[in-house]
Amino acid sequence: MKIRVFDSQYEAGSYAALLAERTILAKESPVLGLATGATSIPFYSALVQRRHNGLDFSRVTTVNLDELVGVGADDPRSYHYFMQHQLFSRVNILPENAHVPDGLAIDAGAECVRYDRVIDAHTPDLQILGIGGNGHIGFNEPGDALLARTHVVRLHQETVAANARAFPSWDGYPSRAITVGVTDIFRAARIVLMAFGEEKADIVARAIKDPITTHIPASLLRLHADVTVVLDRASAGRLSPAIMTRIDPKDGWLTEIDI
Ligand code: F6R
């Protein structure tokens, strides 16, 4: 696992976008695994900027991690809506190449099976992740066991509350989601986990240093061969001195270390 700490989330998002651009340029049919949420916004802004500078998305396939059950693409709470506004409508990706689970599927179980087929056909070269305050990745919530493949999950109360914060005037927020499983995430050749802000500092430190456990799903990422954790200074604030003293300030951002 590598860790990079940047002065700001904008520089961090820009670095993640650089990695995505390298993947797009290196592959004939590049596949990006994508996340939603506040953490991903600087990344999408930087990707859109790269599109303005000529980056071509016409060969790119994207596979999103999750969608809320019961909301459609025209509902501002849905991840379809988020992706449409943050990325899909702003780059030249072909609509048929942009995959998000269908939160309105009448048979959610069948939708999970369908989505796993999408992942089987389009396994991400690069997977972008955020981390929940409770350590979830995708919507694989902490527990005694985790599921391998796409499934319907009941979101933990703190996750519903965190998601609902962006919609203060909305009455009721979906409490179920379709999420890819941990094995689906692990199939990506490379994973970039982003976390920004002081409120993520504690879970970031625990995911990196506590024993690997299903009760902190992000800690499992230490078992993957190619993971880069991209932080701003605030989210890196609780990393142990032993880690932080190995990160040297350089050119406005802090360099990468292996742990
Ligand atoms: C959403 C997802 C989640 C978020 C996480 C952090 O697609 O995969 O794991 O990345 O809940 O959300 P923010 O960035 O809003 O703090």
Mutate which of 69, 134, 139 for ligand 1? The one with the most ligand atoms within 8 Å of its CB, which is 139
Q: What pLDDT is attached to residue 212?
A: 97
Q: Give the containing element (helix H, strand E) for 112.
A: helix 108-121
pLDDT digits (tens, 9 = 90+) for 17-40: 999 999 999 999 999 999 999 999
Average pLDDT over every residue of 209-217 = 97
Q: Assess whether pLDDT exceeds 90 at residue 187.
A: yes
Quote the percentage of the chain above a pLDDT of 90.
88
Q: Assess whether pLDDT exceeds 80 at residue 259.
A: no
Task: Please tell me the pTM assigned to this model.
Answer: 0.96
Q: What pLDDT is attached to residue 256?
A: 76
Cα separation, 49 vs 52, whole angstroms: 5
Q: Assess whether pLDDT exceeds 90 at residue 252.
A: no
pLDDT digits (tens, 9 = 90+) for 241-250: 888 878 777 7
Contact 42, 68 (CB under 8 A): no
- The closest-lying atom of ligand 1 relative to the alpha carbon of residue 79 is 7
Show the tokens assigned to 10. 């904008």
Decide: 184 in ligand 1 pocket, CB within 6 A: no
Q: What is the mean pLDDT of the chain?
A: 95
Report the 3 state secondary structure along 60-75: CEEEECEEECCCCCCC
pLDDT digits (tens, 9 = 90+) for 75-121: 999 999 999 999 999 999 999 999 999 999 999 999 999 999 999 99
